[in-house]
Amino acid sequence: MKIEQIYTGCLAQGAYFISSNGEAVVIDPLREIQPYIDRATADNVKIK
């Protein structure tokens, strides 16, 4: 299992990208979704 915090300093908000066994989930996502799509592509996982 891989857990990463994605933090946006200008908004002082953080989200968590958790992946395991080819699947991922985003906890407390930010408005901009492209970082999650990029991370999923890089890690070869599908966001569920």
For the chain, give every domain's residue range. Answer: 2-47
Question: Strands 23-27, 2-8: parallel, antiparallel or unpaired by DSSP?
Answer: unpaired
At CA 37, angle to CA 7 and CA 27, rounded to 5?
A: 50
pLDDT band for position 6 (cuts 50, 70, 90):
confident
What are the phi and psi torsion angles at 23 (to 5°)?
A: -125, 155
Q: What pLDDT digit, counting tens, does each position of 19-43 carry? A: 999 999 999 988 889 989 999 999 9
Sign (positive or negative) of CA dihedral 40, 41, 43, 47: positive
Output the pTM of the full model: 0.81
pLDDT of residue 9: 67
pLDDT at 12 over 80: no
